[in-house]
């Protein structure tokens, strides 16, 4: 079996994954800016790196997964001007900025839990790492690659670009970038329009501010990821992940900051998930065409024909390779729901197949089954191709169903291969893909249905049946109440 290979944006090649310090793996992923509800676009990055996290652990690595919470410094306008996204939301809602942060952080965690996204090992906040960020700025200034103007500090891109290549990650060329930038409009402090803020002096009205050697102010958005990844994973670590929309300028700036302080590209492998589109357009809060996860779960949005469960969303994301675009549509989500339920029914059926203890094992199908299971791993090892892995699982499922229906005798698999099939299918579906069973929450309807059977039995005076139903209910802690007005149930006190 070939080893895991990942597409590295930095080298533009699929590369065999070789961690710097096996069996340990350090992975950093840019987390949410907590100023609004998580939407479908957020779920893709979260689920993509959840699968990578799960798969790395599954194949035996000890992973430290750091995903940050951006709670300061992410400005409404990415050109280092404009209001802080969180402060703006706080002003609109008349809240303390940290109330906004707390509110949306909790909701983000709830949404992720619903999607069965594992918690990262460490979830650092930008506002809790001011000391580290200030120290990093001081290092970059000392190395001659940043300068202070009026209490703000900027990264000197042209100076950096003399020795390193600003644009190495995104493939952009400084000369082209300069030709396409509109002067220094409103950014007079910068020496070059490509320079980016490491520290901004806070204006009178700016609420979120911290003391620093240069002014009372706040750090630039790109800085926090460099400071926090270095603190928890070291100056060079294995994987840096995020959405494709973060590749430039955010990740490009992170690499520049890391080279200017640690002389490393921060991570060995830079991994980017593609975006979710809606009618071919990027889905995003700033574009106003997004559907929040909660709206998807409840179905309350003009674009939604129905509600879609968290596992349906998870399957929808997984049935495309993370580097392909994924277009939202009701048809695609309905198909995802079917696909997800198929895999779940496979789990149920597998548990019901009994391997006869006294039968003769032929093992005639062992080789074929082994090949089908290996296909699943081959796809995952090939740049985490969950789309192909799911297709392979459906092939396994066909075999499972033919065993269940008795079209193929179970003994055509040796007992050890049958056990292997059971374990592998369950592990891949539930632990690696992270798909769990969603029990229907229609308990009230189910109870009403059972009470109707009770009433039917009473109507035909089938007292044996009546007693039996009563007894079964009692075992569940429920008593049936026969009243003049009808039949009801209550908890047994």
Annotated binding site for ATP: 285
Closest approach, Cβ 131 to Zn ion, in A, equals: 19
Q: Is 486 left (phi over 0), alpha (psi -120 to 50) or beta?
A: left
Say whether 191 sits in a helix, a strand or coil: coil
Name which of 222 and 399 has its Cβ closer to Zn ion.
222
Name which of 6 and 253 has its Cβ closer to Zn ion.
253
Closest approach, Cβ 65 to Zn ion, in A, equals: 14
What is the chain's percent helix, strand, coil content, to nearest 5? 45, 20, 35
Lookup result for tokens 């929309």: 245
Bridge partners, 478 (sequence order): 491
> What is the crossing angle of helices 330-352 and 386-404, to 10°?
40
Name which of 253 and 373 has its Cβ closer to Zn ion.
253
Choose among 163, 165, 187, 164: nearest CA to 177.
Answer: 165
Name which of 267 and 291 has its Cβ closer to Zn ion.
267
Name which of 4 and 225 has its Cβ closer to Zn ion.
225
Residues that bind Zn ion (CB under 5 A): 30, 225
DSSP assignment of 88-109: HHHHHHT--HHHHHHHHHHHHH
Name which of 25 and 30 has its Cβ closer to Zn ion.
30
Closest approach, Cβ 243 to Zn ion, in A, equals: 10
Please give the helix or strand (H or E) that residue 473 lies within, else none.
helix 463-475
Name which of 194 and 225 has its Cβ closer to Zn ion.
225
Closest approach, Cβ 246 to Zn ion, in A, equals: 6
Please give the helix or strand (H or E) that residue 243 lies within, else none.
strand 237-243
Please give the helix or strand (H or E) that residue 490 lies within, else none.
strand 486-491
Closest approach, Cβ 185 to Zn ion, in A, equals: 26
Residues belonging to the binding site are: 30, 225, 250, 254, 285
Residues belonging to the binding site for Zn(2+) are: 30, 225, 250, 254
How far, in Å, CA of 223 to CA of 242, rounded?
15
Dihedral angle of Cα 344, 346, 352, 356, to the nearest 10 degrees = -150
Closest approach, Cβ 198 to Zn ion, in A, equals: 14
Name which of 30 and 428 has its Cβ closer to Zn ion.
30
Name which of 196 and 454 has its Cβ closer to Zn ion.
196
Task: For residue 420, count other CB atoms closer than 10 A to its CB.
Answer: 16
Closest approach, Cβ 28 to Zn ion, in A, equals: 8
What does the longest C-alpha to C-alpha distance in the chain come to?
A: 94
The encoded tokens of residue 70 equal: 């951006």
Closest approach, Cβ 452 to Zn ion, in A, equals: 56
427 close to 58: Cβ distance less than 8 angstroms: yes
Choose among 344, 434, 440: nearest CA to 116.
Answer: 434
Please give the helix or strand (H or E) that residue 241 lies within, else none.
strand 237-243
Please give the helix or strand (H or E) that residue 474 lies within, else none.
helix 463-475
Closest approach, Cβ 80 to Zn ion, in A, equals: 16
> What secondary structure letter does DSSP report for 230?
H
17 close to 5: Cβ distance less than 8 angstroms: yes
157 close to 197: Cβ distance less than 8 angstroms: no
């Amino acid at each position: 079996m070939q080893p895991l290979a990942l597409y590295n944006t930095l080298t533009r090649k699929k590369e065999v994954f070789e961690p710097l310090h096996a069996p340990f793996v350090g992975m950093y992923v840019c987390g949410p800016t907590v100023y609004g509800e998580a939407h479908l676009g957020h779920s893709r990055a979260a689920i993509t790196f959840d699968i990578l996290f799960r798969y790395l652990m599954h194949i035996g690595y000890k992973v430290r997964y750091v995903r940050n919470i951006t709670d300061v410094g992410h400005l409404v306008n990415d050109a280092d001007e404009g209001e802080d996204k969180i402060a703006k939301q706080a002003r609109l809602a008349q809240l303390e900025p940290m109330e906004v942060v707390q509110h949306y952080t909790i909701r983000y965690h709830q949404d992720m839990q619903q999607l069965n996204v594992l918690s990262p090992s460490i979830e650092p906040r930008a506002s809790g790492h001011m000391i580290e960020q200030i120290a990093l700025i001081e290092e970059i200034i000392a190395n001659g690659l940043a300068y202070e103007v009026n209490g703000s500090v900027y990264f000197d891109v042209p100076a950096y670009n003399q020795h390193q290549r600003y644009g190495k990650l995104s493939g952009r060329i400084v000369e082209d970038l300069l030709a396409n930038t509109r002067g220094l409009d409103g950014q007079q402090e910068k020496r070059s329009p490509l320079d980016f803020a490491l520290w901004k002096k806070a204006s009178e009205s700016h609420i979120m501010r911290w003391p620093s050697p240069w002014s009372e102010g706040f750090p630039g958005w790109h800085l926090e990821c460099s400071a926090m990844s270095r603190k928890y994973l070291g100056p060079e670590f294995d994987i840096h992940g995020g959405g494709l929309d973060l590749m430039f300028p955010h990740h490009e700036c992170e690499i520049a900051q890391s080279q200017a302080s640690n002389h490393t590209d921060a991570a060995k492998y830079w991994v980017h998930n593609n975006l979710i589109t809606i009618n071919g357009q990027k889905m995003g809060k700033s574009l106003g065409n997004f559907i929040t996860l909660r709206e998807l779960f409840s179905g309350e949005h003009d674009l939604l024909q129905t509600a879609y469960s968290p596992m349906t969303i998870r399957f929808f994301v997984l049935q495309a390779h993370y580097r392909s675009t994924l277009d939202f549509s009701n048809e695609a989500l309905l198909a995802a729901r079917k696909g997800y339920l198929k895999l779940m029914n496979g789990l149920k059926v597998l548990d019901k197949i009994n391997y006869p203890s006294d039968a003769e094992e032929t093992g005639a199908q062992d080789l074929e089954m082994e090949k089908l299971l290996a296909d699943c791993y081959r796809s995952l090892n090939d740049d985490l191709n969950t789309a192909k892995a799911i297709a392979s699982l459906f092939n396994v499922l066909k075999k499972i169903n033919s065993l269940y229906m008795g079209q193929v005798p179970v003994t055509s698999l040796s007992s050890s291969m049958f056990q292997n099939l059971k374990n592998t299918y369950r592990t891949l579906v539930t632990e690696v893909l992270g798909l769990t069973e969603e029990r229907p929450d229609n308990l009230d309807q189910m109870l009403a249905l059972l009470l109707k059977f009770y009433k039917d039995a009473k109507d035909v005076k089938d007292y044996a049946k009546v007693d039996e139903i009563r007894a079964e209910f009692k075992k569940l802690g429920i008593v049936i109440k026969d009243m003049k007005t009808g039949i009801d149930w209550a908890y047994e006190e």
